Amino acid sequence: MAPIIQVSGVRKTYGSMVAVDEVSFEVNEGEIFGLIGPNGAGKTTTMECVEGLRTPDRGTISVLGLNPFHDVYKLQNRIGVQLQQAQLQKRIKVWEAVDLWASLYQKKTVDGERLLEQLGLIEKRNAWFMTLSGGQKQRLFIALALISDPEVVFLDELTTGLDPQSRHTIWDLVRGIRDRGKTVFLTTHLMEEAERLCDRVAIIEHGRIIDIDRPESLVKRHCPERTVVLATDGLDAREHFRVIPGVEEVICNNSQVTIRGRGDDLVTEVIRCLSENQIRVTDFRTVLPSLEDVFLKLTGRSIRD
């Protein structure tokens, strides 16, 4: 099956500033694909080139078999877009916006009222845009992106500035979009969001893509370290831990022992060692590397810097 989105060798400059360069990736049907990286890495520029809102200086882009530059209206008819930092007319009512958007597409749209209900906006249907909270505005923009029942949904930094509860609601919603067979292309600088939501991610920094894969594969490839933290009073236990295959370091701090090593079997080996030597533990947890660690490793800096 051909990918829904194909981006190849895209470069975009603003004056002398190179925003993105040599960006290539593919998004497959029915997946949630995330472009992740810090602010200013080129996520929005890349996404807006794919949406047909910007023209790349170089490279080719194909979305649903269409060229976003030449077939921009055909494309807009089939995709749903949520832009970063967008606004609507201050005094437009929620239902008016949804109604207007529904009228713009040459196809059957979803029921706007139901959509507002799903997004928890039904009580706000007569409210002016300017009176909505940040989370409500964001949910309205998601409604506008979904109103046309699009084949591909673009979400740019969709939960930025939202409280954790709204964030989880929106994550569920995005998973729901995928479960209905749609393709989702999103950007985020929140690693937790990428890890929980995305089937595959591309890490972008300074306008270039560093790596693309499933989040867990990226973690496995770039951060094979595993860490087990346990608490035990057995003083001779640490000697047993040191000989476990794959263990590189054992750190003791009073009764807390931190065992570092690599390989997927590390945790199993630690558990086996505990049971074979009948070591009594009062606490046991594993610390697995996350996308955050992958990013740190690949770029030498934390994404929050």
Binding site for another protein (CB under 8 A): 51, 53, 73, 76-77, 81, 83, 85-92, 96, 99-101, 103-106, 128
Residue number, 138 or 232, with CB nearest to another protein: 138
Q: At closest approach, how far in Å is the CB of 66 from another protein?
A: 13
Q: At closest approach, how far in Å is the CB of 256 from another protein?
A: 51
Residue number, 99 or 211, with CB nearest to another protein: 99
CA dist., res. 45 & res. 187, Å (int): 11
Q: At closest approach, how far in Å is the CB of 145 from another protein?
A: 9
Contact 294, 214 (CB under 8 A): no
Strands (DSSP E) found in the chain: 5-14, 17-27, 32-36, 58-63, 79-82, 152-156, 183-188, 200-205, 208-213, 225-232, 247-253, 256-262, 281-287
Residue number, 48 or 269, with CB nearest to another protein: 48
Q: At closest approach, how far in Å is the CB of 106 from another protein?
A: 7
* Neighbouring C-beta atoms of residue 247, cutoff 10 Å: 20
Q: At closest approach, how far in Å is the CB of 73 from another protein?
A: 5
Single-letter code of the amino acid located at 79: I
Residue number, 103 or 278, with CB nearest to another protein: 103
* Neighbouring C-beta atoms of residue 242, cutoff 10 Å: 12
Residue number, 77 or 227, with CB nearest to another protein: 77
Q: What is the largest CA-CA distance in the chain?
A: 74
Contact 232, 210 (CB under 8 A): no
